[in-house]
Amino acid sequence: MSEVRLIPYHVEEIVDELTNVPRGVKMIEAPDVWDQADKGEGNVVAVIDTGCQMAHPDLKDQIIDGRNFTTDYNSDENNYSDNNGHGTHVAGTIAAVGTSNGIAGVAPKSKLLVLKVLTQQGSGRMAWIIEAIRYAVDWEGPKGEKVRVISMSLGGPQGTDELHDAVKYAVENNVSVVCAAGNEGDDNEGTEEFSYPGAYNEVIQVGAMDFKRKLARFTNTNDEIDLVAPGVNILSTFPDNRYAKLSGTSMATPHVSGALALLNNISQKEFNRNLTEVELYAQLVKRTIPLGYTKRGVGNGLLTLAIQDKMKNLFQPYTELWENEIKHDVGILSTQRS
């Protein structure tokens, strides 16, 4: 039977002293758009991973529902606790509430649907992944909530038709699917490394950068990379009410998943309607900046949520000058005609 595993990651440090807003969240400029986006309120992100520590102080109020698809806990589907650590870390980057003694995620008012598909050892059956994707799309919360984003920091060397069909089912139902690119990179943009489901065209595939805006040595490169986000020494929640710094494209992925929750709210206000998955993806890539790497390395570039506001402010004096000139010309024309 096909097996999917956690994309390899590295625990850099268990942290006791905290910064309320981690560097990764700041680097993608999430706090700069929190007011516009209501911090992601009203959005549900499905985290398909190793589960989550349900009682963690920064996450306990963010979890709206969950399910265990694995054989852990005697296959009890109601026990989706994290016995690995990876899923709790991913969940915190997306939606940690930001208590005074904790940290804030990218979208700290969004909710999490926790779907445990990987065991304590970090492995899972392909069938569990497929079932969880379809479950996330069909799930409905107690107040009619629906999943807007699926976040998956997992992968395998080969895909299947059934996995691809599940991904397409999600996208067709306007659920964005965000996946890690993988950590098999050889620090050479000229070679390609693929991990599935990340390499499917329908997926938003995320590579990793460090805080110096350098491409992480381990990140996979291929012609399906959509964008990159912070993935080295990322501070987030960890089991036993702790916090840790981890590295991997697994850590870059939830930055993008949380960002989509923010952008969904911003876009709804701008367009006065719900956007399709394709339209929301367009809003995402508009908020990236190039870094001097090839498309195979970084796709559209580094996620930078406030870039449009910065551009607007930069060109505002020229816009006002142009508008004043138009008004002046119209005034002259009106005088001449009268």
Tell me which residues are annotated as active site: 49, 86, 250
Give the integer Cα–Cα distance in Å for 200 and 194.
9
Which positions ≥6 away from 194 have C-beta within 8 Å? 157, 182, 220, 222, 224
Distances (CA, A) of 7 to 15, 194, 196, 227: 22, 12, 10, 18
Q: Is the peptide bond before 197 cis (omega within 30 degrees of 0)?
A: yes
Strands 154-155, 147-152: pairing kind = unpaired
Instruction: Tokens for 260, please give them.
Output: 């989509």
CA 47 to chain centre: 10
Least Cα distance to 93 among 261, 235, 226 occurs for: 235
SS percent in the chain: helix, strand, coil, step 5: 35, 20, 40
| Cα dihedral 98, 104, 108, 113 sign | negative
β-strand pairing of 147-152 with 176-180: parallel
Q: How far apart are CA 25 and CA 229, in angstroms?
A: 10
Confirm if 32 and 306 have CB atoms less than 8 A apart. Answer: yes
Gap between the Cα atoms of 308 and 321, Å rounded: 20
